[in-house]
Amino acid sequence: MVKDLQERINRLKKENDVCILAHSYMSEEVCEVADFTGDSYALAVKAKSVPQKTVVMCGVRFMAETVKMLSPDKKVILSNPDAGCPMAEQFDKEIIEEVKKLYPDYAVVAYINTTAQLKTVADVCVTSSSAVKICKALDSKNILFIPDINLGNYVESQVPEKNFKLLSGGCPTHAKMEKREVLAAKAVHPDALFLVHPECTGEVCALADYIGSTSGIMDFAEKSDKKEFIIGTENSIVEHLQYRCPDKKFYPLSKDLVCHNMKLTTLHDVLHCIDGTGGEEIILDEELRKAAVKPIEKMIALGG
Ligand code: 13P
Ligand code: SF4
């Protein structure tokens, strides 16, 4: 059944000139039909160069909006219209404009997990894999980092030469992981390395052997000589790694490390995006798009 669906999707995407992009948090079966999979940064860079006229973004809304901003002439479809990132909605533009008045000489650095509206008040966007590099490269010595306090804290620790102001947003899935869960997992798997996403708290990250993006974690585990790993990010990464490295063992930090929004997209959703009966076409007001794409373009220019 899964194979049948995948074959239909693969046939139809060629016939209809569709490119499928999938974030690393998609299920293995969705990643298998994608033309390209990766972390948020890799997907943003890829979005600029895909040759097809239509792009189906399997992920959450801000990712599909990013594709549309970078490729305005393409038809961009979000795989499941209900898939949003709760963090992206935590602050609205008006609040950030008020905060900016308090810190007029601070550059606004926005995690890409933000709405298009919020991006219009940002000087530059960052992703988990590019944030340190971009904050280092930025002209400004003062950085107002929005909205993720955990990623902000991590970046601040890596860029001590700059002054940071942080807001108290964050990912509900990653932020709820606790130090005691890491200690318990390490006690059960004493030989395992602990790999973690910087959206987790400082206390959790302090116990990590590696801190990085979804792709960073997968690359690290694949290249490592070690055989066991505790994975401190969304549990789909545990599944992907187990396929990629069948001789190694991967343990989720917690069975609660699940992003329900990322879990919404099914193979049927992907099929319906391609046959024109499902998904949601992303439509952005042109003024909004032009303003919101600027910090993303700057991210790509500084991120390389
Ligand atoms: P990456 O940039 O590591 O892909 O992370 C995206 C995300 O939403 C993590 O929760
Ligand atoms: Fe947003 Fe967290 Fe889900 Fe990533 S894991 S999409 S940050 S809610």
Band of pLDDT at residue 44, cut at 50, 70 and 90: confident
What is the pLDDT at residue 37?
Answer: 97
Instruction: For residue 197, give the nearest of 208, 213, 186 by alpha carbon.
Output: 213
What is the pLDDT at residue 186?
Answer: 98
pLDDT digits (tens, 9 = 90+) for 111-143: 999 999 999 999 999 999 999 999 999 999 999
What is the three-class DSSP state of 107? Answer: strand
Band of pLDDT at residue 48, cut at 50, 70 and 90: confident
For residue 214, the CA-to-ligand 1 centroid distance in Å is 6
Shortest-distance ligand to the CA of residue 213: 1
pTM of the predicted model as reported, rounded to 2 decimal places: 0.97
Instruction: For residue 221, give the nearest of 243, 204, 188, 200 by alpha carbon.
Output: 243
pLDDT digits (tens, 9 = 90+) for 225-260: 999 999 999 999 999 999 999 999 999 999 999 999
pLDDT digits (tens, 9 = 90+) for 199-227: 999 999 999 999 999 999 999 999 999 99
Helix ranges (H only) for 55-212 are: 61-70, 93-102, 116-119, 131-137, 149-158, 172-175, 179-188, 202-205
Cβ–ligand 1 distance for 150 under 6 Å, the answer: no
Instruction: For residue 240, give the nearest of 34, 81, 7 by alpha carbon.
Output: 34
For residue 155, the CA-to-ligand 2 centroid distance in Å is 18
What is the pLDDT at residue 304?
Answer: 82
Average pLDDT of the chain, as a whole number? 97
Atom 7 of ligand 2 has which residue's CA nearest to it? 171
Shortest-distance ligand to the CA of residue 260: 2
Cβ–ligand 2 distance for 77 under 6 Å, the answer: no
What is the pLDDT at residue 47?
Answer: 84
Shortest-distance ligand to the CA of residue 235: 2
What is the pLDDT at residue 212?
Answer: 97
Q: Say if strands 228-232 and 210-211 run parallel, antiparallel, or are unpaired.
A: unpaired
Q: What does the pLDDT average to over 272-290?
A: 98
What is the pLDDT at residue 254?
Answer: 97
For residue 209, the CA-to-ligand 2 centroid distance in Å is 22
Atom 7 of ligand 1 has which residue's CA nearest to it? 40
